[in-house]
Chain A
C-alpha cells in the first residue's frame, strides 16, 4: 500500500480512537461527576428535572440514560461537528475556551521545539568537532546533569531566581497590561511572558544535543569522512555537508519523539508559570471538577499531537529518502 495513504489511515484511526476513548472515559467518570453537575443545576437554577437532564446532555454531549450505542452515535456526531460541550465552571462553550487558549500553548511549544532543535544541532556539531576538548567535556557534563533534572524543577528555580528574587521576568500570566493586537508592545509583552516557560523546556531538552553528538562522532569516524579529508575538502564543507547532514537525521527522529513529550510537559509548565494555555485550563478543570472542559482539553491536546506527528512523519522522507523503501521490505 502507498506509504502516505497508510500513514494517513493510521492518523485517522488514532484520532478516532482518541474520540472514542474520550467517550468511554466520560461515561466512566465517577458517578459523582454527573451527580455534582445535576445537584448544582438543581440547586442553582429552578429547572424541572427534564430540563436538568437536557442541560446535562448539553454539557457533556452524552445523555446519561441513553443506551450506549445511541449515546455513542450522538457523541461522535456532536464531536465531529466540532461541538465539545459546555464548560460547567465558566458557563461558556468548551470550543470558545479552547480556541482562546490554544494559540498560547502552540506558541510556547513551537518556539521551544524550534529553538531547541537548532541549538541542539549547533551544540552537538561543536561537541563532535572538538571531541575531547573543553567545550565537549563541559557540554557533556552539563548534558548529563541537565538530563537528570526534570523540566519543572528547572522551571521552579528559574521562577525563583529570575522572577521572584530579581524581577527580571514576570512571575505569571500570558501578557502584560497592554492593548491586544498587532502592535510592537503587545508582541514584546507576549515574548517576555513566554520566555521562562520556553527556556525551561529548552534547557531540559539538552539531551537532544548529546544524542546528536554521539551520532556525529560516529560519522566523523567513518571512512568516507577520511576520504573527504584526503580529498582536501575544507573543514567547513566537511562540517556542513558531511557531519551536519548525517547528524540531522537522528535529530529529526528525536524531534518527533519530543513533540509528544513537549505537549505533555507544557501542561505542568503552564501550571507553574500560571500561563493560561490549554494545559492550565485542563488542570484547573480537574480541580473544579469541570469534566466537559477537561475532556475537551484532553481531546484537543491529544489530537494536536497526533496531527503534529503526522506532519513530521510526512516530511521525514524528504530528509531521509530511505524510509519509504525500507518500510516496504519489512
Chain B
C-alpha cells in the first residue's frame, strides 16, 4: 500500500487536484484551511496566492494571538529587542574602554544610564550592540534545527525501509550525545567566527529530538484516511508530504523553532561566559565573563555589571517562552479549549513531544 516513489514535485502540480484532501469536517488547525482552499482553487495567480498565504499564516494566527496576553507580551519583548538592536546598530556609537568614568553605578548619569564597568565601558551601549549578533545566532540555530529535523524526520517516517533505518540510527546517535561537550570541542577545532556558523554549531545535535518527534508523527499521519485518499488518487509523495503531512507538523516545528532559539541563547552565553568560544565582538556572555573575572562577584559597586547582561538574557528568554506558549494556542485548538487559563501548557506540550519521541525510539 505504500507508494515509495519519490517524485520531488515541489512546484504546483498540473495534474487534476482532488477537491478535498482533508476528510475532517472542521479544520483541526488554521493551516488545514490551506489544504482545502489550496485544493479547491487551482486558478489563483501568484499575487493572489501570496495574499492567501499571508492570510492563512499571518492574519488568521494573529486573530487568535491578539486575544492572548502571552502572545502580546512575548511579541512586544522580542520586537523591542529587534528594534533596539537595529536602531543601536545604526545610530549608537560603539563604546570603548575609558568611554566614561570607571565603575559608575547604574541610573546615576544621563550619559551612561546603565553605568560603566571597571574600565569605563558604557554598559548600555555594550548590551545593545550585542543584540544583532545574538539574534543572528539564535535565528541560524533555529532554522538549522527545524530544517534538519523536518527533513530527516519526514523522510524517515514517510519512506520507511532502509532509508528509515539509516536516518533513525543517525538520529539516535545524535540524541544520545550531550550537546555542550561536543560544541566545545567543535568550537576549538573549527573556531567559527560568524554568528550564523556559531548558531548552527550550537544546535549540532539539537535537531535530532525534533527529527524523532516528527518521524513518529509522520508514521501516524501516514495511515490517516485523507493521506491514504491522496495516495489512492495517485498524488506523488512530495505533494502528499507538502500538502497533507507538513501542515499537521507545523505546530511542533514552530514550537521547536522557538525552543531551539532559546537553547542557542542559553548555551552561547554560557560558553562565552566560560571562555571556550572564539572571542569576536562583545556579547552578553563575554560581558558576564569579564565581570566574573574582574571582581564583580565580590565588589558590590560592580554588581550591575553582572545584572545587566543577566537581565537582558532572562527578559529575552521570558519573551520567547510566552511566545511559544501562545503559539501553542494558535495551533492547538484542543489546548485552547481545555486550558484557557492555564499557563504551562506549552511547556508541557514541548516536553511531551520530546518525551514521546524518547519512548518510541527506544528500539
Contacts and interface: CB of A to CB of B under 8 A. Distances in A.
Contact of A257 (B306, B313, B354): B354
Nearest to A322: B359
B188 interface: yes
Contacts of A150: 266, 269-270, 313, 317
Interface in A239-280: 250, 253-254, 256-257, 260-261, 263-265, 267-268, 271-272
Interface in A313-330: 313, 316-317, 320, 323-324, 326-328, 330
A282 interface: yes
Question: Which of B298, B343, B362 has the most chain A CB within a 10 Å cutoff?
Answer: B362
Given A156-B310, A330-B219, A306 B176 contact: yes
B297 A327 contact: no
Contact of A268 (B169, B176, B273): B273
Contacts, number: 195
B276 interface: yes
Given A256-B358, A257-B358, A30 B189 contact: yes
Interface residues of A, number: 77
Nearest to A327: B363
Question: Which of B275, B288, B297, B318 has the most chain A CB within a 10 Å cutoff?
Answer: B297
Nearest to A159: B297
B228 interface: no
A267 B355 CA distance: 25
Interface stretch (A63-71, A189-197, A211-219): A211-219
Interface string A264-304: 11011001100000000011001100010011011001100
Interface stretch (A7-15, A34-42, A51-59): A7-15
A287 B275 contact: yes
A213 B344 contact: yes
A253 B358 contact: yes
Interface in B147-178: 169, 172-173, 176-178
A282 B184 contact: yes
Contacts of A177: none
A144 interface: yes
B189 A18 contact: no
B360 interface: yes
Contacts of A283: 184, 274-276
A222 interface: no
Contacts of A164: 297-298
Contacts of B362: 3, 7, 313, 316-317, 323-324, 327
Interface stretch (B25-33, B99-107, B134-142, B345-353): B345-353
A254 B358 CA distance: 9
B186 interface: yes
Nearest to A24: B189
Contacts of B50: none
A156 B185 contact: no
B359 A144 contact: no
Given A148-B318, A153-B314, A263 B354 contact: no
B177 A210 contact: no
Contact of A148 (B188, B303, B321, B344): B321
A294 B185 CA distance: 8
Contacts of A282: 181, 184
A260 B358 CA distance: 13
B69 to A, nearest CB: 13
A211 B351 contact: yes
A253 B266 CA distance: 22
B176 A29 contact: no
25 contacts: A3-B362, A10-B169, A14-B173, A22-B185, A144-B321, A144-B343, A150-B270, A150-B313, A156-B297, A160-B297, A160-B306, A211-B348, A213-B348, A214-B344, A215-B348, A257-B209, A257-B355, A257-B358, A265-B270, A268-B274, A305-B176, A316-B362, A317-B362, A327-B363, A330-B363
Given A150-B266, A305-B177, 13 more contacts: A10-B176, A144-B343, A150-B270, A159-B297, A211-B348, A264-B267, A268-B274, A295-B185, A301-B181, A320-B359, A324-B363, A326-B360, A330-B216
